[in-house]
Structure 1
Amino acid sequence: MLRNRYIVLVEDDEIMGGSLLQRLELEGAQVLWLKQMVRALGAIRTPRKPIDAVICDIGLPDGSGEELFLTLLQTETPPPFLFITGQGGIGQAVRLIKSGAADYVTKPFEISVLLERLSLLVGNREQPIEDADFPPLMGVSVAARRIEALIVKAAKASDHVLIRGGPGTGKDLVARRIHDLSDRSAAPFVSINLAREADTEAALLGHAGAFDTVGEGTLFINAIGKMEAQVQAQMLERLNQEFVGRLVTACGNDLQALIAQGTFNSELFYRLTRIEIPIPPLDKRPEDAVWLLFQLYRKLAPRHAPQLEGISPLSEEAVRNHDWQGGGRDLRSRLLRGLAMARGPLLQPSDLFPEFLVGPNDMMSLAETREAAEKAHIIAALDRTHGQIGEAAKLLRIARTTLWEKMQKLGISGS
């Protein structure tokens, strides 16, 4: 996965840097090792060849990894950044991820973990255009980290995998990552969505169907709850024969009910669930929803609304509180509509959620206007202080308890 990749390593520690350089070169990567922020800034801005990824320590002798990344953001879109941080710097690393960095690992770490995360970032798989807009990771929440750990575990194993999750939770992206990180990555990745197939038997088991074309690769079957009983029986028989490929399947959260009703074969279910990866809905991971908003904005805004300067704090709060029944695809769809509708310098909640607009003869009362302005000002202060209520209270020149009471009244979440 790393062969002939060009990696920039920004690390001032001689032992750490030397170990990473040696291992990356053993993996076939071409590595430029830099030990100062100022040298890294120039090398990344004017590279001798396209950079596939940057591995960057947070602490540097003449600055910080954060300063390096944010400086690059002012004039360009940097290559994928994988940050190395100590336990005390996790908050800083998460903040950088929200700003557009790709991933982070915490010290101490196993080199295999870093290589796996790096491989995720530089994977060259072909994706549908819509999927290509989505970032390579699941998010910044604890739940997202758990999913990533399960992806790595599944990639190392050879057992069949079942991915559970509602609409738009990225089940197809997870399946692709499992394949790309596995030792089957050079073999085909064949994807079949049974919800879109008129003849599931032909698509899976017919001549030149998925089972015939996958070889030693990965066969991803989405919406397996749509599989007819006779196809389930044929598929189970096929698995009982010599099948050299690997199955990754996906379903919603209703498969147990289908088994209880007798419409899904329990034996087949147990064959498919040697490893299970549950994906919580986006509304249960509000920090991931906001993170995904910014990730998609950075990709879509330059193409669809280059005049925009950014996203308003009120939009962040609206995204955090939305139920997102359609998952990430719903968010992407709303963002595209919002970019088309936006008229001001910042993306506003009314751009993302036009159904909340008041009618032409309606107008907010003076009290409602004051409340909305106060809420926006508090959200901006919390955003500037990265959610630190005490620091935000100092900026607003009010007592911490007063700010907390106002946040509770206005429905603003905080740390």
Structure 2
Amino acid sequence: MLKDRYIVLVEDDEIMGGSLLQRLELEGAEVLWLKQMVRALGAIRTPKKPIDAVICDIGLPDGSGEELFSTLLRTGAPPPFLFITGQGGIGQAVRLIKSGAADYVTKPFEMSVFLERLSLLVENREKPFRDDDFPPVMGVSVAARRVEALIAKAATESQPALIRGGPGTGKDLVARRIHDLSDRSAAPFVSVNLARETHSEAALFGPASGFDAVGEGTLFINAVSKMPVQVQTRLLKRLDQDFDGRLIAACGNDLEGLIEQGSFNSELFYRLARIEIPIPPLGTRPEDAVWLLQQLFRKLAPRHAPGLVGIGALCEEAVRSHDWPGGGRDLRARLLRGLAMATGPLLQPSDLFPERLAGPDEMMSLAQAREAAEKAQIIAALDRTDGQIGEAAKLLRIARTTLWEKMQKLGLSGS
């Protein structure tokens, strides 16, 4: 993935810099290693050849990575920056991401995670961005970084994996990332979404479909909770046979409830969940919601609203406080509608949330207030337990089935 790439490494630590230089060259990259901000500034502004990426430590002897990036921004668009920071510099790294930097990694980091993020950065620079595309990484929050670590680990395995999360959390993107980062990336990635299939058995086992088409690649079964019982039985039998490919499944947060009801096979659940990747709701990750808004605005605004120059501070605050029951898809849909309706130079809260234009004297009913408070508590419990319904129910001191029913009612589950 890094073969013949031209990488600028800005790192003053001899041990860290030497280690990164050696590994990047083993990956086939051409590396220019610089140890001072002033030298990096000149090398990046007038490169000897196009730069594919800059790896930059935030702390430098004659300045900082933030100063370097900000200076480059004043005179043009710098190459993609991957920042290296300690735990104490995460806030600074998040600021840089919001300013247009590509990504960051936190010390100490696994070399495999570092190489994954650098490869993604380089590859995504060359891919066209479509309206339905989302950024390849989950976000900038600590919770998002936990998911990223699980993705990197899952990519090194061959056993089944189960991705769990509510609507719009990017389960399909996570599955694709696992495939692309694995040794199977050259083989097919076959996706079957049971929420859209009238005949799930034919979609999985029919000629030139599902198992028949995947070969040594990855078969991704989305909305696995929609699978009929008889198809679950057939899937279990198929997994017991020789299968050269890799199975990844995805579901909402409802499988435990379905198992208790007898509509989902517990043995199949345990087979699928050899590796489990829970994705916390976007509403519990306000910094990721604002970051996603900024990423999508940067891509979509020039095409849909070229007169808009940015996002207002009040708009970002409104996004931060919204619970986003529909996840990233909800945010993208509101943004597209807002871009079409915006009249000023900055995107405003009323552009994304026109329903808030109701009169100031209007109040929620007591029933609505209770429902909003209950929803906030459930989201907080799910975030604290990484989406584990049983553990969240214990925190809330209710039965697991009761929690599952409330999640269904409040739109907090599903594929």
Shorter chain as normaliser: what TM range? 0.7 to 0.9
Deviates more, 1:31-40 or 1:220-229: 31-40
Any stretches of 5+ residues in structure 1 without a counterpart? 365-415
Correspondence list, 1:48-63, <5 A: 48-63=48-63
> Which residue is equivalent to 1:373?
none
Deviates more, 1:5-14 or 1:319-328: 5-14
1:243 equivalenced with 2:258 (yes/no): no
Instruction: Kindly provide the amino acid, as one letter, of the partner of residue 137 in structure 1.
Output: V
1:272 equivalenced with 2:279 (yes/no): no
Correspondence list, 1:3-42, <5 A: 3-42=3-42
Deviations 1:236-285 (A, max 9, x none): 11111100111111011111222222222222111111011111111111
> Which residue is equivalent to 1:392?
none
TM-superposed CA distance for 1:336, in Å, is: 1.4
- What CA distance in whole angstroms lies between the structure 1 residues aligned with 2:54 and 2:271? 40
> Which residue is equivalent to 1:152?
152
- What CA distance in whole angstroms lies between the structure 2 residues aligned with 1:54 and 1:266? 48
- What CA distance in whole angstroms lies between the structure 2 residues aligned with 1:34 and 1:303? 38
In the superposition, the TM-score normalised over structure 1's length comes to 0.80
Q: Bigger relative contact order, structure 1 or 2, given CA contacts below 8 A and separation 6+?
A: 2
CA gap 1:355/1:6 in 2 versus in 1, 3 angstroms = same
CA gap 1:38/1:179 in 2 versus in 1, 3 angstroms = same
TM-superposed CA distance for 1:39, in Å, is: 4.2
Deviates more, 1:192-201 or 1:324-333: 192-201
Any stretches of 5+ residues in structure 2 without a counterpart? 363-415
Number of residues of Structure 1 aligned to a counterpart in Structure 2: 361
| Secondary structure of 2:237 counterpart | helix
CA gap 1:206/1:50 in 2 versus in 1, 3 angstroms = farther
> In the alignment, is the contact (CA less than 8 A) between 1:341 and 1:351 conserved in 2?
yes
- What CA distance in whole angstroms lies between the structure 1 residues aligned with 2:204 and 2:119? 30
- What CA distance in whole angstroms lies between the structure 1 residues aligned with 2:138 and 2:46? 30
Correspondence list, 1:252-291, <5 A: 252-291=252-291
Deviates more, 1:77-86 or 1:167-176: 77-86
Instruction: Kindly provide the amino acid, as one letter, of the partner of residue 236 in structure 2.
Output: L
- What CA distance in whole angstroms lies between the structure 2 residues aligned with 1:99 and 1:354? 27
Deviations 1:9-48 (A, max 9, x none): 2223344323211210101222233334344345444555
Deviations 1:385-404 (A, max 9, x none): xxxxxxxxxxxxxxxxxxxx
> In the alignment, is the contact (CA less than 8 A) between 2:129 and 2:299 conserved in 1?
no
- What CA distance in whole angstroms lies between the structure 1 residues aligned with 2:302 and 2:37? 28
- What CA distance in whole angstroms lies between the structure 1 residues aligned with 2:190 and 2:234? 19
> Which residue is equivalent to 2:300?
300
> Which residue is equivalent to 2:388?
none
CA gap 1:50/1:326 in 2 versus in 1, 3 angstroms = farther
> Which residue is equivalent to 1:332?
332
- What CA distance in whole angstroms lies between the structure 2 residues aligned with 1:233 and 1:9? 53
- What CA distance in whole angstroms lies between the structure 2 residues aligned with 1:75 and 1:166? 42
CA gap 1:48/1:200 in 2 versus in 1, 3 angstroms = farther
Correspondence list, 1:145-224, <5 A: 145-224=145-224
CA gap 1:329/1:302 in 2 versus in 1, 3 angstroms = same
| Secondary structure of 2:155 counterpart | helix
Instruction: Kindly provide the amino acid, as one letter, of the partner of residue 300 in structure 2.
Output: L
> In the alignment, is the contact (CA less than 8 A) between 1:165 and 1:279 conserved in 2?
yes
> In the alignment, is the contact (CA less than 8 A) between 1:131 and 1:173 conserved in 2?
no
CA RMSD of aligned residues (A): 2.4
TM-superposed CA distance for 1:99, in Å, is: 2.5
- What CA distance in whole angstroms lies between the structure 1 residues aligned with 2:239 and 2:188? 18
> Which residue is equivalent to 1:129?
130
Deviates more, 1:263-272 or 1:350-359: 350-359
> In the alignment, is the contact (CA less than 8 A) between 1:123 and 1:180 conserved in 2?
no
- What CA distance in whole angstroms lies between the structure 1 residues aligned with 2:356 and 2:193? 34
- What CA distance in whole angstroms lies between the structure 2 residues aligned with 1:332 and 1:270? 34
- What CA distance in whole angstroms lies between the structure 1 residues aligned with 2:200 and 2:158? 25
- What CA distance in whole angstroms lies between the structure 1 residues aligned with 2:92 and 2:152? 24
TM-superposed CA distance for 1:199, in Å, is: 2.1
Deviates more, 1:160-169 or 1:58-67: 58-67
CA gap 1:255/1:127 in 2 versus in 1, 3 angstroms = farther
CA gap 1:47/1:303 in 2 versus in 1, 3 angstroms = farther
- What CA distance in whole angstroms lies between the structure 2 residues aligned with 1:143 and 1:327? 15
> Which residue is equivalent to 2:118?
118
| Secondary structure of 1:232 counterpart | helix
> Which residue is equivalent to 2:404?
none
- What CA distance in whole angstroms lies between the structure 2 residues aligned with 1:205 and 1:75? 56
Deviations 1:79-122 (A, max 9, x none): 33211123332221122123232322233434333223223333
Instruction: Kindly provide the amino acid, as one letter, of the partner of residue 262 in structure 2.
Output: G
> Which residue is equivalent to 1:141?
141
